[in-house]
Amino acid sequence: MKIELPTDVQIILSQSHFLKTVEDVSECLVNCVPHIKFGIGFCEASGPCLVRHAGNDTDLDLLATDYAYKLSVGHCLVILIRDAYPINVLPRLKDVPELVNIYCATANPIEVVFVETEQGRAILGVVDGFKPKGIETEKDVGERKYFLRKIGYKM
């Protein structure tokens, strides 16, 4: 399944394992970046098997829920963020007890590769963005360094 993100939105696609995931992940995100905007969709894999959701941005909440439902992979967790980067939340997100695996964290379009059996679906992997078009030159190195400083990640 292809997922093309809106401009200025990042996705973290992961696997989680418990009903309280959406609440714990919400708390984690806000504690990492107080002004972060986010939406979460979580595919419950037992009981009522609902897509559980939360967020502080209605559009991102709806979109994350829609992506999760279209994927329909048990224990799949879709996190969409705006006004932050995955690097701002990943270290703390990895400490959330329910999180099992992180497939990707990106603003690139992705393709989720999954398998479907009689029981359900499983994510096999994620194609994140595009393949390289070449090797960076000295000019490219300069542009990379400039960009990192422009957005405040390097001094």
Domain ranges of the chain: 2-150
Instruction: Report the candidate in 119, 11, 22, 25 with the shortest Cα–Cα distance to residue 74.
Output: 119
Predicted pLDDT of residue 29: 97
**Start-to-end C-alpha separation, the chain:** 39
**What's the average model confidence in pLDDT over 144-152?**
92
**What's the average model confidence in pLDDT over 25-41?**
96
Predicted pLDDT of residue 19: 85
**What's the average model confidence in pLDDT over 61-76?**
97
Mind listing the pLDDT tens digit for each residue in 90-117?
999 999 999 999 999 999 999 999 999 9
CATH 3.40.640.10, applies to 2-150: no
- The rounded distance, in Å, linking the Cα atoms of 147 and 153 is 9
